[in-house]
Amino acid sequence: MTEQLSMFGREPSRELSPGAVLLPQFALADEAGLLAGVRAVTEQAAFRHMQTPGGFRMSVAMSNCGALGWVTDRAGYRYEARDPETGDLWPPMPTSLRELARLAAAHAGYEGFDPDACLVNRYEPGARMTLHQDKNERDFDAPIVSVSLGLPATFLFGGLARSDRPVRVALTHGDVVVWGGPSRLRFHGVMPLAEGEHPRLGRIRVNLTFRKAG
């Protein structure tokens, strides 16, 4: 089953750097289930543009599912059990999403990955994410699993210092990357999204990141 999924697009997995494994089109085996899950989540917890601690509006719109959700506002970056817009718990992580993350992690050598948070990012043309590290999670031993959907993006994969020159990686619809081990704390970002129209998603890119946050 794992082999079948990884070979969905006839492309083998590729190690981008120690601990970082690209699984091309891995998410397409259950594309319909995945898109239905994302829709269910964002119907309950609408995409919104959060504020950085410095007071800037993020160009990426975000939602979350799972026991914990990543939030930012003037008080800082953190994980919260409730959606600050509604006061409700974040929607549960759909089984189709959880299983995809578990299977991808196992395929990359991380057995038993049990994410409690999934951040859902929505990019419109022009939206970007500046270089940063993901370090609000309690445990850096667990990997982060990312799933790209919709319009293609140029991902920037840096080093352990902000000043390390990033490598560009093209990420397209259905690509999954598992970021663990020595790659877990590398700086990364996303170049401004180019204009385009995706046959199923339209004029957007959606990125899911599964995390062990708590």
Q: Which is nearer to ligand MD3, 29 or 213 (CB)?
A: 213
Identify residue 185 by its one-letter amino acid code. L
Find the part of the chain contacting ligand MD3 (CB under 6 A) among 100-108, 109-117, 175-183, 191-199: 175-183
Question: Residue 63's binding partner, choosing from ligand MD3, Fe ion, none, with beta-carbon cut-off 5 to 8 A by kind?
Answer: none
Least CB distance to ligand MD3 at residue 187 (A) = 8
Find the part of the chain contacting ligand MD3 (CB under 6 A) among 5-13, 46-54, 161-169, 177-185: 177-185
Question: Residue 184's binding partner, choosing from Fe ion, ligand MD3, none, with beta-carbon cut-off 5 to 8 A by kind?
Answer: ligand MD3
Is residue 212 involved in binding ligand MD3 (CB under 6 A)? no
Least CB distance to Fe ion at residue 188 (A) = 6
Nearest 5°: the CA angle 138, 139, 143 is 130
Least CB distance to ligand MD3 at residue 94 (A) = 18
What's the rounded Cα separation, in Å, for the pair 148 and 161?
Answer: 25
Kind plus residue range of the DSSP H or E element containing 31: helix 31-44
Q: Which is nearer to Fe ion, 5 or 206 (CB)?
A: 206
Please say whether the beta carbons of 63 and 48 come within 8 A.
yes
Count of residues in contact with ligand MD3, rule CB under 6 A: 15
* CA torsion through residues 64, 83, 77, 126, sign: positive
Least CB distance to ligand MD3 at residue 189 (A) = 7
Number of neighbouring beta carbons within 10 Å of residue 126: 10
SS3 letters for 56-70? Answer: CECCCEEEEECCEEE
Is residue 137 involved in binding Fe ion (CB under 5 A)? no
Could you say which residues in the range 141-170 bind ligand MD3, by CB under 6 A?
144, 146
Q: Which is nearer to ligand MD3, 98 or 205 (CB)?
A: 205
Please say whether the beta carbons of 119 and 209 come within 8 A.
yes
Rounded to the nearest 5°, which phi and psi values hold at 100?
A: -60, -45
Please say whether the beta carbons of 147 and 111 come within 8 A.
no
R_g over Cα of the chain: 16
Which two tokens mark 208?
A: 């899911």
Among 116, 134, 137, 175, binds ligand MD3 (CB under 6 A): 134
User: Which residues contact Fe ion by CB under 5 A?
Assistant: 134
User: Which residues contact ligand MD3 by CB under 6 A?
Assistant: 119, 121, 129, 134, 144, 146, 177, 179, 183-184, 186, 188, 190, 207, 209
